A = this chain, B = another copy of it.
């Protein structure tokens, strides 16, 4: 079982919570990169990028492979899959609710009335 209890998701959600790190994921989705190459796409120092990469690695969102004296960062599917699995629990939910909402809107349009609820004191 590679999937995680929702407790194990914390490092992954934490990693995804930063926009720079999400950008890095998009970068790595197109091409594996060394830390130096990743740096070229951002205005921050290498040290900052390195910390982001470490956090991404802790979230199982990337893996790093040593290649000579360079360390190549790859996108790792497992972290993303774990989050996807966690969210799939809610799929039933928003599928159902959005469907109902849309039905209600369409019914309102047909009926033509959306007046606010009256309030007496």
Contact = CB atoms under 8 A, between A and B. Distances in A.
Contact of A93 (B29, B63, B65, B83): B29
Nearest to A121: B63
A93 B121 contact: no
The A interface, classified by DSSP as helix, strand, loop or mixed, is: helix
Most buried by B among A26, A81, A90, A98: A90
Interface size class of A (residues with CB under 8 A): 20 to 34
5 contacts: A13-B16, A16-B16, A65-B121, A80-B94, A84-B87
A97 interface: yes
A90 B80 contact: yes
A71 B98 CA distance: 22
